[in-house]
Structure 1
Amino acid sequence: MLYAILKTLHVLSIIVWVGGMAFAHCFLRPVAAQLDPPVRLNLLCNVLGRFFKALLWLAPLAIITGIWMIGNAARSASKAGIGFSMPLDWHIMSVLGLIMLIIFLAVRFRLYPQFARAVAGADWPVAGAAMAKIRKWVAINLVLGLTTVAVTLVY
């Protein structure tokens, strides 16, 4: 029962994480681009602020539950007296998930505060430049997230 709960939390956190990036990058951003810079950048700052607050819980939850499930599989193999060898897709998921977490933390704690300060100060050129950096890293994380999901489904 605990395994099912943790796996559900793991999958749901990844759905929100990757789905949120896909929504922001593929749907929100193109529509927001039609707005004047002050409106667009205020909107993106507020949306990203809410999304990043959620990810401060969900991204670590995805990593922690993933590690727990790996540990559970290793413990079960040990109790059964058989060796544990992590499948290739688990290795790929683990590495990509940790890279995604590092990128998210860098965006949240380095780039987003610069962006939010520029928006608060109505410094639209600086805010636009900061948003461009955030957009680049979100796109990279989206590709990593989609790759992780694809690897999971292929194996």
Structure 2
Amino acid sequence: MTGSLSFTLHILGVLAWVGGMVFAMLVLRPALAVLAGPDRLALLAQTHRRFFLIVWHAMPITLLSGYALLFGWYGGFAGAGVHVHIMHLTGLIMSCVFVYVALVPWRAMRTALAVPDLAAAAAANDRIRKLVTLNMGLGLLTVIVAAWGRFGG
């Protein structure tokens, strides 16, 4: 029962986090081209605020449920396959990237929009975009490794 709950929470956390990045980068971002710069930045600020709030919850749930599976199911690192070690590494890197995004460029974007300094807000948003793209790539790689490794591929 505990393993099923941990696995379910792990998958839900990954879906929210990685799925949200895929939606943002492949659907929302291209659609924003129809908006003028200030309107685009205002919508992005609201989108970032909501999504980052979700990730602040999904990230620890994903990590904690992953550790519950690692130690409860696999018996620790020694009993885990290479795919679990890769998931662990990429999950930690993704977490660090997210924390940096939330504490540095996201804070800079909010500050710039409050002034308002649209050029500084756009520059901060561009840093966010690049880092979210990196995290999306890491997240998709992690999902591929997890799926491939789960079935001994």
Shorter-chain TM range is: over 0.9
In structure 1, the gaps of 5 or more residues are 78-82
Q: CA-to-partner distance for each residue in 1:48-76, whole Å, 9 max, x for gaps? A: 1011011111101101110111111344x
**Counterpart amino acid of 2:132?**
V
Q: How does 1:142-153 map to 2 (within 5 A)?
A: 142-153=136-147
The answer for the alignment partner of 1:3 in structure 2 is 3
Q: How does 1:3-152 map to 2 (within 5 A)?
A: 3-75=3-75, 84-152=78-146
Counterpart CA distance in 2 for 1:153 and 1:31 is: 31
Q: Secondary structure at the match of 1:55?
A: helix
Q: Secondary structure at the match of 2:116?
A: coil
Coordinate RMSD, CA, aligned: 1.5
Counterpart CA distance in 2 for 1:28 and 1:74 is: 38
Q: Is the 8 A contact 2:3 2:73 kept in 1?
A: no
> Number of residue pairs matched?
149
Structure with greater Cα Rg: 1
Q: CA-to-partner distance for each residue in 1:91-150, whole Å, 9 max, x for gaps? A: 000000000000000001111010111122221110110010000000000000000000
For normalisation by structure 2, the TM-score amounts to: 0.93
Once the two structures are TM-superposed, the CA of residue 37 in structure 1 deviates from its matched residue by 1.1
For normalisation by structure 1, the TM-score amounts to: 0.91
In structure 2, the gaps of 5 or more residues are none
* Aligned-pair identity (%): 36
**Counterpart amino acid of 1:42?**
A
